[in-house]
Amino acid sequence: MSIELRHFRCFLAIADTLSITRAAERLHLTQPAVSRTLRQLEQSLGVHLVDRSTHHLALTPDGLSFRDRAAVAVASFDRALGYAHRTAWPLRLGHAWAGAGTDTTTLLRRWHEEHPATPLELLRIDDRTAGLARGEVDAALLRGEVSAPGLITERLTTEPRVAGLPADDPLAHRTTLSLADLADRTIAVNTVSGVTSLDLWPPSARPASTITIGNSDDWLAAITGGRAVGVTTSATAEMHPHPAMAYVPLTDAPPVPVVIAWRDGPGHPRIPDLIALAHEVMGRG
């Protein structure tokens, strides 16, 4: 049996919902049809993608590995259909927060001037790879170390870390802070796309309290609302100023690398031009 796109869509629906029933509802199919399509895919690949031995359906290691590749294939197919009748092929650049920092406007305008036939779309996607691993974008500006399989990265620059505090916090008017100054506070940690974890602090002096955040908007709200303080990079201060927020440089926190990433393999033909321009505009270290 040959594998068809419907097999990929069926598997992705199961992977997203972790339920045969909900996948069937999403695809407007019967449960037996979804189970049969999954079984056909597994037989053709020669691996088990889904563990159905427990009460809760889960992806196997092979299923987890195959999920992103299937998502890239489906996204590429859908995108090809979507642009079939257009003359321009947009280049999608993902980011999880802060874009290219203060270089964002320069990067976008330079691209428009030098490559007017290829629109550059800057897309914020709350994901560790800003949608790159799942084929939602062609390239991504990412912060921190990125080790997702199938991705290539090049460092563009580094950004210093800063503390994010409510503007009326007693520490907000300091010119600099250390990590120890925040150790007795509740720390807002973006576990989806952030670069801050308790590992920044020495084991003997780590903050005892954290709240989990999923995106930069919620991070800002938690801090300006007085629930927590945070650690981020200078790009956040530059791109997300807020009258109720103060950003204070941290003297003892390591800088954060900023990389441009793309998938290994065939991709948008203008990716090399984007990489070159990003180095030219942002490359400072």
pLDDT in tens, 212-271: 998 989 999 999 999 999 999 999 999 889 999 999 999 999 999 999 999 887 788 899
Q: Which positions ≥6 away from 172 have C-beta within 8 Å?
A: 165, 166, 246, 248
What is the CB neighbour count within 10 angstroms for residue 205?
10
Identify the three-state secondary structure at position 285.
coil
145 and 261 both lie in a single domain: yes
65 and 11 both lie in a single domain: yes
100 and 237 both lie in a single domain: no
57 and 73 both lie in a single domain: yes
194 and 175 both lie in a single domain: yes
- Dihedral in degrees, nearest 10, Cα atoms 63, 197, 236, 220: 90
- Retrieve residue 78's tokens: 């859908």
Chain-centre distance of CA 69, in angstroms? Answer: 16
233 and 170 both lie in a single domain: yes
153 and 271 both lie in a single domain: yes
pLDDT at 206 over 80: yes
Q: Which positions ≥6 away from 166 have C-beta within 8 Å?
A: 172, 223, 224, 225, 226, 229, 244, 245, 246
Give the lowest-confidence range in 127-131, 179-183, 220-224: 127-131
Q: Among residues 51, 82, 113, which one ends one of the domains?
A: 82
43 and 177 both lie in a single domain: no
User: What is this structure's pTM?
Assistant: 0.73
Place of tokens 């170390």: 145
How far apart (Å, rounded) are the C-alpha atoms in residues 236 and 124? 14
Q: Among residues 47, 82, 117, which one ends one of the domains?
A: 82
166 and 235 both lie in a single domain: yes
- Average pLDDT of the segment spanning 64-81: 76
- Average pLDDT of the segment spanning 13-40: 87
pLDDT at 51 over 80: yes
209 and 263 both lie in a single domain: no
How far apart (Å, rounded) are the C-alpha atoms in residues 14 and 12? 5
Q: Among residues 82, 115, 150, which one ends one of the domains?
A: 82
- Retrieve residue 68's tokens: 């992103």
Confidence of residue 1 (pLDDT cuts 50, 70, 90): low
148 and 275 both lie in a single domain: yes
How far apart (Å, rounded) are the C-alpha atoms in residues 164 and 230? 5
Q: How many domains does the chain have?
A: 3
Confidence of residue 190 (pLDDT cuts 50, 70, 90): very high
Domain range for 193: 161-254
- Retrieve residue 243's tokens: 């009258």
How many residues would you count in the chain? 285
Look at strands 161-166 and 245-249 and give their pairing: antiparallel
CA nearest to 181, candidates 246, 142, 229, 224: 229
